[in-house]
Amino acid sequence: MQRQDPELPVSARRVIVGVNNTGASTVVADERAVPSTRLPNGILLQEVWQQRDIPAMPDDRPEPDWTLGPAAPTEGAVVRILTVPAANGDGPAEPDLHTDPSLHVITMLSGELIVLLEDGEVTLGVGDSVVLRDSMHDLRNVQPRPATFVYTSFPLTKRE
């Protein structure tokens, strides 16, 4: 396996497996270029998978026109790769603590990320994960190289 330069964002490849006309598992799509967006703050967001409805159906496919931007879905789920640019040396801006009624699972692929909370913070390195459940948070990269992570988000509903 060829390692990618840690200074460059991860280039997402999406392989979708389904079944052929005889019912055997097979690759139905193999795409190197997944939909991506560069946000105003410099974060690169790559859409690996979008699920409009849960539970998923065997023939569901991503919908190219269904673009959520950085917000978590109010229905369905998303799987994304995000790359936060390297710190620029100006020092961290004021925290932008925010939340939404979602369950987020973040798993680090490269670099280091600080998760700021209302009461403390946690630093994540390669292979570390954090689960945020409708929690006030902000994400920071204070390192001199990009931080890349897989971000999965599901909407939360209150149990009655």
First to last CA, the chain: 49
pLDDT score of 158: 61
pLDDT score of 24: 95
pLDDT score of 7: 47
**Tally of CB atoms within 10 A around 110:** 19
Which of 144, 147, 142, 143 minimizes the C-alpha distance to 128?
A: 147
Structure tokens at 42: 């410099």
Cα→Cα distances 69→38, 59, 65, Å: 10, 24, 12
Query: Low-confidence residues of the chain, pLDDT below 50?
Result: 1-8
Dmax (CA) of the chain: 59
- Burial degree of 47 (CB within 10 A; 0-12, 13-18, 19+): buried
Backbone φ and ψ for 57, nearest 5 degrees, come out as -110, 150
**Tally of CB atoms within 10 A around 153:** 21
pTM of the entire structure? 0.82
